[in-house]
Amino acid sequence: MNLVSLRIITADIRRLVQFFEGVTGITAKWSTDDFAEIISNTSTLAIGSTRTLAFFGEGVAQPATNKSIIIEFLFENVDEDYERIKELTREIVQIPTTMPWGNRSILFRDPDGNLINFFTPISDEAKKKFA
């Protein structure tokens, strides 16, 4: 089993795609006006408009209501990325902080309120995990 993609449903797909292009530095691949993907070497962040929900059934998802998932990205140096991120979001939840498990982390929200974590392994054990 391989987890290959996470999908965010949003009422404003252009705004959310533009945000993720800005924070990741990756240009989205648009399949339709209602579906785009931020594709990295290891995973895909899919972003779909609420119109895509018609294919799954009424009421299966609600945009901008996530209160339990943190979307995490491995970055080379979160302290440097923090300066860039501050310009792209209105809500920094946690400034660069070293976590007990060996990652340096910044936590912020995307325009829909989803929690986003950028982290850099700094302990030897954490570096081994992501080598």
The string of pLDDT tens digits covering residues 61-95 is 999 999 999 999 999 999 999 999 999 998 999 99
| Helix spans in the chain (H) | 13-24, 78-86, 124-129
Is this prediction's pTM over 0.85?
A: yes
Question: Which amino acid appears at position 45 of this protein?
Answer: L
Note the pLDDT tens digit of each residue in 10-49: 999 999 999 999 999 999 999 999 999 999 999 999 999 9
Handedness of CA 85, 6, 33, 10 (dihedral sign): negative
Tell me the C-alpha distance between 80 and 115, whole Å: 19
pLDDT at 70: 97
Domain-by-domain residue ranges, the chain? Answer: 1-57, 66-131
Query: Would you tell me how many other CB atoms lie within 10 Å of the CB of residue 78?
Result: 22
Q: Which residue has the tokens 């089993």?
A: 1
Structure confidence at residue 58 as a pLDDT band (50, 70, 90): confident
- Is the CATH number 3.40.605.10 carried by domain 1-57? no
CATH code reported for the domain at 66-131: 3.10.180.10
